[in-house]
Amino acid sequence: MVSEDEFIKTFLKPLAEKTEGSLGLLDDAAILPRTPGKDIIISKDILHADQHFYKEDDPANIAHKALATNLSDIAAKGATPICFMLGIAFPKAPDEQWLKGFIKGLEAISSQYSCHLLGGDTTGTKGPLSLSITIFGEVDAGKMVKRSGAKPGDHLYLSGSVGDAALGFLLKSNELGIKPSDLRFEPDVNNWPLNDEQQTELLESYLRPTPRVELAEALKNHASAAMDVSDGLMTDLPKLCAASACGADVELARIPFSEPAKIVFAAQKAEQDELRNLCLCWGDDYEILSAISPENAENFETEAGLQGIIVQKIGNFTAPGQGIRLLDETGKPHQHKPLNFSHF
Amino acid sequence: MVSEDEFIKTFLKPLAEKTEGSLGLLDDAAILPRTPGKDIIISKDILHADQHFYKEDDPANIAHKALATNLSDIAAKGATPICFMLGIAFPKAPDEQWLKGFIKGLEAISSQYSCHLLGGDTTGTKGPLSLSITIFGEVDAGKMVKRSGAKPGDHLYLSGSVGDAALGFLLKSNELGIKPSDLRFEPDVNNWPLNDEQQTELLESYLRPTPRVELAEALKNHASAAMDVSDGLMTDLPKLCAASACGADVELARIPFSEPAKIVFAAQKAEQDELRNLCLCWGDDYEILSAISPENAENFETEAGLQGIIVQKIGNFTAPGQGIRLLDETGKPHQHKPLNFSHF
């Protein structure tokens, strides 16, 4: 068992050594680094055990995911991450092995993206483990990519693919013997014909999402609006459209799904529609949805490609009265049954 | 029952109208306001139900306390609060009446101190209600009052009085029929000879602490070090001394206790030592402890007084080898049994 003092001094302090303003985690407060000519962009994501991750998950993965979800928000705004504040509440004094894993995971992702610990708060809780991160990024003054800038006629772009995290979650739940609530179908997980590599691909998408930090520059240069997909493509797109006062047409055939996802769809043909719907509405994708004007599209694709990120045009922004439409192969609106996702 | 969307749009958005960078809470991220020549000071405090407050508490008080504890950190650094990020996790969809009370309390304290909502995150949790606030303040560049600046010979000052929150907590626990753990004595709460006004004074200290926001300027002008007393005077002073590499002598006779506290001490004479010890070590005081050089002392007292805050010299900083000593009326070290407080 590790005490609060020891946790701060032995485990957290080394992570704060690269941020001068952290004052060695010895103070009540921290000083935010400033770069002249830059705006400071802030985002906050809270994660609770058995709500956003399973308490049985590898602690390194829990730490990775907590920072990754926040890095994703900063990237979607065209900004570069600089540092973060960590709040952590433990249900009981944490075990040293667990903490070592957690810190190792946090250290790895914070080093990878040069986004270091600035400060925070630690406490106990009568509830499950909970994490609260406030992240800071910077972007040239006035250049943050907002949700509100999309215009009718802009192309709708998506990075990577969606749905892998939802399927990974089903795999993980099955492994733990937990039956997810709110599903409208029975996922036949044990009969999905996936090899080990494909299973790992889906699990990793859920457990260790990759934030699209390298896409920020191309977004800043070319996007009129953007947001990250944390609650599902068809849940988040309406939010982008509402903020921009636009409608959008999404072409189902253009939505990128991974190879393992396609295998799962084919294996459960009768439930294919529900499975695909889950992949479009469940979330945890941390891909980036953006509005790119037609004249910027080629440069956006090129710059993203140079960072090793595939971006795919999946539709268009339309006039506000048009609503959000998911079009099938024939161009007809597809019967889409949203999951009506709410965190509470 | 209020949905997440409705909570954000109807309840939270009005609180964010005064911070331009909140973008109407419509975006993934917010833009921090900047003032040239100022440093941005950040602090974070997390509060969980049944750990930092009782879930039965008036929701307006819960909101007040959550922001007050953060405002206290900013004040102790000599900084002016500017805005805050709110993370809130609900155990179930919140009831409208409860939310109205919560928002009313939050609105009142954020207006009082011109510290408005900038953004945040809302979610559900399988645990108790939890709040996580990251607060931002500003101070002239390089002028933040750190914990680390105290020097031997500096006077040790305390604002207000300590222990009222601890006694208020005992009153509240008694009212709820909850027996606090970790006490080394039986508080005879039902026989404390307090009138209604005195009871209210103690309860309010615990439920609705007053952050010493108005003391910030005097601290910035005169303090060589400061921190707020959140974990108890004799728990927090060693942290200030450690950061400053100093010892300290505290004169027990000079520690200010309120009239109701003195009445309680007198009523439980046999347990007076344990009661006083609790008042010195339990916390939630949100008073400010500071190191003031002898030549600044008079001006510090005057400037604090002009803000309506009484500050009292309660001891001196000493050479590091001296340790932290609590001296009785005869100048002899008092047998002080710390409560060894740790949040987990």
The rounded mean pLDDT for chain B is 95
Nearest to B28 among A3, A27, A77 (CB): A77
pLDDT, mean of residues A36-48: 95
Tell me the nearest-neighbour CA distance from A69 into chain B, angstroms. Answer: 11
Chain A residue numbers touching B85 (CB-CB < 8 A): 42, 44, 134
Domain ranges of chain A: 4-140, 155-327
Residue A224 phi, psi (nearest 5): -90, -20
Distance CA A89, CA B259 (A): 36
- Which of the four pLDDT bands, split at 50, 70 and 90, describes residue B341? low
Nearest to B85 among A5, A44, A126 (CB): A44
Nearest to B89 among A5, A39, A46 (CB): A46
Q: Chain B interface, mutation test: which of A74, A116, A125, most B Cβ atoms within 10 Å?
A: A125
The rounded mean pLDDT for chain A is 94
What's the confidence (pLDDT) of residue A338?
Answer: 66
Tell me the nearest-neighbour CA distance from A95 into chain B, angstroms. Answer: 11
Nearest to B171 by CA among B190, B196, B193, B197: B190
Q: What is the pLDDT of residues B158-208, one digit of tens each?
A: 999 999 999 999 999 999 999 988 788 899 999 999 999 999 999 999 999
pLDDT, mean of residues B281-294: 96
Tokens 């260790």 correspond to: A208
CA distances from B83 to B62, B76, B123 (A): 18, 16, 21
Q: What residues are paired with B225 via a beta bridge?
A: B291
What's the confidence (pLDDT) of residue A339?
Answer: 65
β A324-327/A247-251 pair status: parallel
pLDDT, mean of residues A240-268: 97
Nearest CA in chain A to B5: A342
For residue A317, the SS3 value is: strand
**Phi-psi category of residue B286: left, alpha or beta, with phi > 0 → left and psi -120 to 50 → alpha:** left
CATH architecture of the domain with range A4-140: 2-Layer Sandwich (3.30)
Q: Chain A interface, mutation test: which of B47, B134, B146, B237, most A Cβ atoms within 10 Å?
A: B134
In the predicted structure, residue B335 carries a pLDDT above the cut 80: no
Chain A residue numbers touching B127 (CB-CB < 8 A): 48, 91, 125-128, 130
Q: Chain B interface, mutation test: which of A5, A71, A134, most B Cβ atoms within 10 Å?
A: A134
Share of chain B above pLDDT 90, in %: 88
B299 or B35, which is more confident? B299
Q: What is the pLDDT of residues B205-237, one digit of tens each?
A: 999 999 999 999 999 999 999 999 999 999 999
Q: Is A158 exposed, middle or buried (0-12, 13-18, 19+ CB in 10 A)?
A: buried
β B30-31/A38-48 pair status: antiparallel
Distance CA B27, CA A73 (A): 10
Which tokens hold the place of A21?
A: 């303003």
Chain A residue numbers touching B40 (CB-CB < 8 A): 31-32, 34, 40
Nearest to A130 among B45, B74, B89 (CB): B89
Nearest to B31 among A39, A48, A122 (CB): A39
Chain-chain contact of A48 with B127 (C-beta, under 8 angstroms): yes
Share of chain B above pLDDT 70, in %: 98
In the predicted structure, residue A321 carries a pLDDT above the cut 90: no
For residue B121, the SS3 value is: strand
In the predicted structure, residue B343 carries a pLDDT above the cut 80: no
Give the DSSP H/E element, type plus range, for residue B20: none
Nearest to B29 among A28, A41, A46 (CB): A41
Q: Are A94 and A1 in contact (CB under 8 A)?
A: yes
Tell me the nearest-neighbour CA distance from B269 into chain A, angstroms. Answer: 33
Nearest CA in chain B to A95: B344
Q: What is the pLDDT of residues A119-163, one digit of tens each?
A: 999 999 999 999 999 999 999 999 999 999 999 999 999 999 999
- Which of the four pLDDT bands, split at 50, 70 and 90, describes residue A340? low
Nearest to A89 by CA among A41, A40, A124, A48: A124
Alpha helix stretches (DSSP H) within chain B: 4-6, 59-76, 96-112, 164-176, 196-207, 216-222, 233-244, 259-267, 272-281, 297-306
In the predicted structure, residue A171 carries a pLDDT above the cut 90: yes
Chain-chain contact of A29 with B42 (C-beta, under 8 angstroms): yes
Residue A99 phi, psi (nearest 5): -65, -40
pLDDT, mean of residues A19-40: 93
pLDDT, mean of residues A199-203: 98
Nearest to A343 among B46, B49, B124 (CB): B124
Chain-chain contact of A43 with B134 (C-beta, under 8 angstroms): no
Tell me the nearest-neighbour CA distance from A90 into chain B, angstroms. Answer: 7
DSSP-derived letter for residue A67 is H
Residue B273 phi, psi (nearest 5): -65, -45
Which tokens hold the place of A258?
A: 């991974």
Q: Chain B interface, mutation test: which of A121, A146, A178, A241, most B Cβ atoms within 10 Å?
A: A121
Residue B152 phi, psi (nearest 5): -55, 135
The CATH code for residues A155-327 is: 3.90.650.10
Chain A residue numbers touching B73 (CB-CB < 8 A): 28-29
What's the N-to-C CA distance of chain B in angstroms? 33
pTM over the 0.80 mark: yes
